Amino acid sequence: MTRKRLILEGLTRSRLVDVARTFEITGLTGRSKDDIVAALARSRAIDIESLLDVLDRAELKAACRAAQLDDGGRRKADLVARLLGRDAHAAAATKATEEHTTPAPRQYRQRHGGTRPMTNTTPESGATIGYEAELWRMADALRGAMDAAEYKHVVLGLIFLKYISDAFEELHAKLESERAHGADPEDPDEYRGADPPVFWVPREARWAHIKAQARQPTIGQLVDEAMEGIERDNPALKGVLPKDYARPALDKQRLGQLIDLVSNIRVGDAQSRSKDVLGRVYEYFLSQFASAEGKKGGEFYTPRCVVKLLVEMLEPYRGRVYDPCCGSSGMFVQSVEFIRAHRTGNGNGGKARADISIYGQELNYTTWRLARMNLAIRGIEGQIAHGDTFHNDRHPDLKADFILANPPFNVSDWGGERLREDQRWKFGVPPAKNANFAWVQHIIHHLAPTGTAGFVLANGSMSSNQSGEGEIRKAIIEADLVDCMIALPGQLFYSTQIPACLWFLARDKKNKGFRDRRGEVLFIDARKMGRMVDRTHRELTDEDIARIARTYHAWRGEKEAGKYEDVPGFCKSATLDDVRKHGHVLTPGRYVGAEAVEDDGEPFEEKMKRLTATLREQQAEAAKLDAAIAANLKELGYGG
């Protein structure tokens, strides 16, 4: 029996059905548990790593016991490693031993030649910047025995500092070259008045100074002083940067090696900023730290192509913009297009910048600090609060014009049992063990009377009927809030294999400057779109994004988008009666139908004659082969 089948057999029938929905495997309704296990075990849509990714810790422990493996430990990453036949601790120790023989930057030079900084080898790629994995491997080797949750602050703090210093040094060099024209590279106002603004970095915080002292025993104190100096001179960063590098528990030799490593990357110059290298390096590191801490999947990256699609669909260039789970780099900082829209007003002479108000909330403290810093770096003011959105909503009275979000998928430990009577649950109490429809209703609660929302959710949200989710979805549909549903292609996300979709909600389908869309829902099936940028990651191209957004804009009546038409296999404008006939399931594939097959011009009668003749030839050939096989068997004495 394969390991995959062994794991599946340990799940209950209802859990197997849930897994099938997650991976969009249909046709299992009413089947026995054994039949479902067999179907899932055969399915190529589920590999063992994807399966383990959607199991909780208790299920992973049970799988370990079934496989006669050690089920000890609390970290999901360790349990997954055992089930995959990997020893996470041994691998980490081997990597550390290999890397500690010489400083990491020297190793990089030995492998790649020269002393040039690491650069983006795939500049147009939205899924990878080329060196995140290499950088992570070297940084992780310097971790030693330090806990991942603690090391996270050490590494990311240095990357923040390098980002600020890169931007400063680039402008400093430019001002130095303009001294003859009155520029003063040591005047802080030259940096604060730049477009975009650049943080002033005092001398004690400049990267060249820190790098020169990297091998000194006092390096921890020097880094703390650098962080304090930057916060002192830049109020927007007050409380954002970590300042505990001098603590005795932090190995100063490893800290010095890490500084050497970070010196080899560029994250803050103009080219790197345009590609959001900081956000992408940070994201990759965060996903790896989350894995090491046993929480992988809870804080994963929103691909920039998905952010761009959300923005292009909703066009949030004026009004109150809200993200209830703004993440490590979120909707406000991952999309260069979105930031440009704020800064230039989307071509309206810069008026939109003054009309935009940004509101966000983030539970994870380290992530919240990055979100604040990224907004400040780009000169964008935002009210980004720290706290639990469900249990301590920091914007309780906000009614937003636009809401963009990528909530963590299928969260089971969100404390729903303590919020059974919450005022936000207008369409039904969400299940205590899955936060998907808590997020949906929280978003609806914060929408202004003419507000629109676009957000990412797991595919199961479109069809699940477990724990009352189907009734909540039905109530939302019957309230005519669902404007558009998009099925996304797989492999878009870094750290989860769970298939995803986009929901678009509209409080008022009659007004908002568009046509009256009451009683209608647009379905778009984008599962076949996108291109592979490497072996494991896909991204939507600019052409894909433009086609999807143009389809939505045409459907809702934007004149410049042209006339809307249903396209079999891609898009369908459905009525609420259509949705009712499908049991209030919102999966686009049910509505858009099959893609039209191009007519090859061959008349039907001629084609049938040709195909029938081909079939008879193949049948005759098959009969000859059968006869030959029978003759061979007879010669061997098995002809009976």
* Most trustworthy range by pLDDT among 371-375, 481-485, 609-613: 481-485
Provide the pLDDT for residue 394. 97
Check whether 543 has a pLDDT greater than 80: yes
Question: In angstroms, rounded to a whole number, what is the distance separating the alpha carbons of residues 174 and 271?
Answer: 15
Provide the pLDDT for residue 471. 98
Provide the pLDDT for residue 196. 76
Check whether 133 has a pLDDT greater than 80: no
- Indicate the range of 121-125, 379-383, 460-464 predicted with least confidence: 121-125
Check whether 94 has a pLDDT greater than 60: no
Q: How confident is the model at residue 355 (pLDDT cuts 50, 70, 90)?
A: low
- Indicate the range of 296-305, 438-447, 531-540 predicted with least confidence: 296-305
Sign of CA dihedral 46, 49, 54, 60: positive
pLDDT in tens, 198-231: 899 999 999 999 999 999 999 999 999 999 999 9
Tokens of 533: 């940028």
Q: What is the mean pLDDT of residues 69-85?
A: 79
Provide the pLDDT for residue 156. 79
Check whether 122 has a pLDDT greater than 70: no
* Most trustworthy range by pLDDT among 319-333, 373-387, 488-502, 507-521: 507-521
Check whether 354 has a pLDDT greater than 80: no
What phi and psi, each to the nearest 5 degrees, are found at residue 539? -140, 150
Mean pLDDT of the chain, nearest integer:
82
Q: What percent of the chain has pLDDT over 70?
A: 80
Q: What is the mean pLDDT of residues 501-515?
A: 91
Q: How confident is the model at residue 547 (pLDDT cuts 50, 70, 90)?
A: very high
Give the residue from 499, 485, 492 showing the smallest Cα distance to 531: 492
pLDDT in tens, 312-347: 999 887 889 999 998 765 576 554 455 454 454 444
Check whether 41 has a pLDDT greater than 50: yes
Question: In angstroms, rounded to a whole number, what is the distance separating the alpha carbons of residues 230 and 199?
Answer: 8
Q: How confident is the model at residue 117 (pLDDT cuts 50, 70, 90)?
A: very low
pTM beyond 0.85: no
Provide the pLDDT for residue 300. 42
What phi and psi, each to the nearest 5 degrees, are found at residue 7? -65, -45
Q: How confident is the model at residue 27 (pLDDT cuts 50, 70, 90)?
A: confident
Q: What is the mean pLDDT of residues 502-522?
A: 93
DSSP 468: G
SS3 585: coil
Give the count of beta carbons closer than 10 Å to the beta carbon of residue 538.
Answer: 20
Provide the pLDDT for residue 622. 94
Tokens of 218: 């006092």
Tokens of 86: 């990997």
DSSP 317: -
- Indicate the range of 106-110, 113-117, 177-181, 494-498 predicted with least confidence: 106-110
DSSP 584: T
Rounded to 5 degrees, what angle do the CA atoms 466, 453, 365 make?
Answer: 80
Provide the pLDDT for residue 45. 76
